[in-house]
Chain A
Amino acid sequence: NAGVMQNPRHLVRRRGQEARLRCSPMKGHSHVYWYRQLPEEGLKFMVYLQKENIIDESGMPKERFSAEFPKEGPSILRIQQVVRGDSAAYFCASARGAQTYEQYFGPGTRLTVT
């Protein structure tokens, strides 16, 4: 019974490049949350998606960041024109449904911008 999967686990990008982070939720889960964790800090919510819908993106920066969760395939968090301040660990969590408060986290993608 596979858990939440994220890839890549580590990603290095130069300033100005694009970063694509992928998240495959647990089997049977159709709700995905993305969080960002800066060094020495707790996780901060970015965006919540259901299949083909963005439900809440209140934590997402207005520019350069976008997220999708297509009908088929993983959820993707895209960061365009990365800057050094984007360096962080990005975690996704999945839940079975909107009424399920228990969220299961993936191992994260550690993005380093050089």
Chain B
Amino acid sequence: GESVGLHLPTLSVQEGDNSIINCAYSNSASDYFIWYKQESGKGPQFIIDIRSNMDKRQGQRVTVLLNKTVKHLSLQIAATQPGDSAVYFCAENTGQAGTALIFGKGTTLSVSS
């Protein structure tokens, strides 16, 4: 199944379904956005990024959508697999040199076979 709308702390889907994970960001000056995947006991792993001059970017099985009007970011995962089970975080950055990432609240994605 899919989940669209406000941020949800957990999302459960069946293998093969599409997943949509949402994130609201706070800083209208943010210029750069990243989605990270964090598996249990590991560090965040880069998935995909997008600049503020774009509204969509596609990777392998993943798509990031950016809506600057409502300061909303989403990650779409096509044909979700059990290996996609993890916590997903969005992060924003103002794009100023040497600035840190600001992380949003994570969403735990659980994929059942």
List the interface of chain A (C-beta within 8 A of B): 4, 6, 31, 33, 35, 41-45, 48, 50, 55-56, 59, 91, 93, 98-99, 101-108
From B44, B46, B93, contact of A91 by CB (8 A)? B44
Q: Classify the secondary structure of B's interface with A.
A: loop
Number of A-B contacts (CB under 8 A): 59
Q: Classify the secondary structure of A's interface with B.
A: strand
Is there contact, CB below 8 Å, between A42 and B104?
yes
Q: Kindly state the separation between the CA atoms of A107 and B42 in the bound complex, as whole angstroms.
A: 5
- Chain B minimum-CB-distance residue to A34: B100
Instruction: Say how far A67's CB is from chain B's closest CB, in angstroms.
Output: 13
Number of interface residues of B (CB under 8 A): 24
From B97, B98, B106, contact of A42 by CB (8 A)? B106
Is there contact, CB below 8 Å, between A42 and B43?
no
Is there contact, CB below 8 Å, between A105 and B43?
yes
From B46, B89, B100, contact of A104 by CB (8 A)? B46
Can you name 17 A-B pairs with beta carbons within 8 Å? A6-B43, A33-B101, A35-B101, A42-B104, A43-B103, A44-B103, A48-B98, A56-B99, A56-B100, A91-B43, A99-B97, A102-B46, A104-B46, A105-B45, A106-B43, A107-B42, A108-B42
